[in-house]
Each structure stands twice: as C-alpha cells, then as structure tokens.
Amino acid sequence: MQSSREADSTGQIILGATPIGNPADASARLIEWLETADLVAAEDTRRLHKLTGSLGIRVSGRIFSYHEHNELSRTAELIEQVRSGATLLMVSDAGMPAVSDPGYRLVQAAIEARVRVTAIPGPSAVLTALALSGLPTDRFSFEGFLPRKAGERKGKLQQMAGEQRTMIFFEAPHRLEAMLAALVESFGPERKAAVARELTKTFEEVLRGSLQELHEWAASSEVRGEIAVVVGGSHGIVRSAEEQVAAVLELAEGGMRLKDAVAVVAESSQASKRELYEAVLAARAGS
C-alpha cells in the first residue's frame, strides 16, 4: 500500500481542471499555478494560450505539449524532471485531465516513481451534464465515447442494456443522430435521456425527453458544439422484441386484458406501448 503523502522527490504533479466553456470558471488556484508552475503540460498548447489570454495571465514555466500521440514518449521525461524537484501542472483542453483526456498514464507513472500527485478540482462536463439532465444522480457511470463502428457500438450497448445506473456519454455532433438511433434500438424508444450541448457557453442548451424524441430532434437539426448525452438506467427486465411479445401473450392468456398486459411489459422493458401492441396483434394474426 502506498500513501499519496509518501514521495521520493520534492517535486509534484498537479492535475488542473480547466473551464469547459466559460473562462470565468477558472479557479484562483488554477490561475496561481498556471503563472508559477515550473512546467506546464498541455493537451493543446494553442488552447492553453487562448485560455491564459482570456484570463489576462502568462505562463512563466516551460510549456510541453502532452496528448494521446506523445504520452508514451514524453511521460518518462516529465517524471524525471519532477523527480529533480520541478512542479508540473497538467491541463487538458477542458475539464479534469485523465478523465476521457490525457493524464492517466502520467498519474500511473508518477505513482510508480513515488512522485506526489495532487489535483485542482473544478469544471466537469460529466457532472454538469448529469446535474442538468433531471435524471437520477445517486448512482451513475461515465461511459465516454461509444465505438464509431456500428457493429461494435451495438455490441457495447447490448452489454449495457440492463444497466440500472444513469449513464453519461460524450459524442461528436456529426455522429449524434446515429448514436441516438443506436440507443433507441438497444434501450427502447421510451427510455428517458437528455442531450447537453455547449455547457457553460453562450448557446448552452439541454434537451430532455425520450430517446425517440431526442433522435427525431437530432435527425431534423444541424447539431453543433460539444455534446454530452445522459441516459436513464433500466428500471426492469430487458427483453428482446420476441420476448416482449411472448410475455404479453402469456399475461393475456392468464386472463389479463391485452392492453393492460402490453402496458405492464412495456414499462418493465422500456418498450413503446404502441409498437409492442402492434407487434402482439401481428403475432396473433400470424399464428
């Protein structure tokens, strides 16, 4: 076991949470360390200069680019400088480093090298979207970006169909419509969700409704900005379309009215009552 208070060097690594949209959300501690850290590792140095320009400050330390394409090669160099006594501030483009952003490998390497790691908490697109979604916040999971390929995305969502916690995803605007279509197919059209875009920015917007409603909006709109999608968890048994029809017919054969049976199964499986009712009628007609 290793304590974060135990370190073999006088240097330290600070993970600095940066604004997710509004520069005014930068904390006083972030500003202080941007101005005074010996080294600043930035996911995008241009974004860093834009942020410091907006804040009216300048970085006095040496700036390094640190992103997914050079993490492996640059980590050892940065760790060595910290072991020699330097203070390194790590910032990503927005939010907390290491959360769907570069930084995880740096933290791992620092722990192995017995280098102190601490954090400046601050803005988070994950928590902001969750709080604004209106969906349950007591238990949730962050899922990041879904696979781009349709088959891989479908397989991933099928594994998550029974997840009872609220789920938070990131998605690019040009892929949002396809993502929501996949969510409808895997989770059912009635599952509650929210799409949050441009959080903390001038044109911030949060749309709340069923997955079907959100998909129809995305299909008919020119979606822009950075996107977070929040999806409510499953409230019951997840069944395939064939299982849903069979469950309705079983209840109906037991004496329950057909519409009542459809309502019961639709609620437990997050299915559309209308579509399930039509599927049951079609099954009866074909038998």
Q: What pLDDT does 243 receive?
A: 76
| pLDDT band at residue 268 using 50, 70 and 90 as cut-offs | low
**Alpha-carbon distance 283 to 287, whole Å?**
6
CB-based contact 273:263 (threshold 8 Å): yes
The answer on pLDDT for 214 being more than 80 is yes
- Structure tokens belonging to residue 100: 């769907």
Which class for 188: exposed (0-12), middle (13-18), buried (19 or more C-beta within 10 A)?
Answer: buried
DSSP secondary-structure letter at 173? G
Which CATH fold would you assign to the domain 126-231?
A: 3.30.950
Best CA proximity match to 215, nearest among 176, 270, 167, 266: 176
Q: What is the CATH superfamily name and number for domain 12-123?
A: Tetrapyrrole methylase, N-terminal domain (3.40.1010.10)
Question: Which tops the pLDDT comparison, 164 or 241?
Answer: 164
Q: Is the pLDDT of residue 7 over 90?
A: no
Q: Is the pLDDT of residue 209 over 90?
A: yes
Burial class (CB in 10 A: 0-12, 13-18, 19+), 31: middle
Torsion sign (Cα): 275, 277, 282, 283: positive
Q: Which of 70, 48, 65 is nearest to 57 (CA)?
A: 48
pLDDT digits (tens, 9 = 90+) for 47-85: 999 999 999 999 999 999 999 999 989 999 999 999 999
pLDDT digits (tens, 9 = 90+) for 88-145: 999 999 999 999 999 999 999 999 999 999 999 999 999 999 999 999 999 999 999 9
Q: pTM of the prediction?
A: 0.79
The pLDDT value recorded for residue 237 is 59
Report residue 162's pLDDT band, with 50, 70 and 90 as the boundaries: confident
pLDDT at 270 over 80: no
How many percent of the chain have pLDDT more than 70? 93
For residue 229, how many other CB atoms are within 10 A of its CB? 25
Which ranges constitute the DSSP H helices of 57-175? Answer: 71-83, 104-112, 125-133, 150-160
* Average pLDDT of the residues of the chain: 92
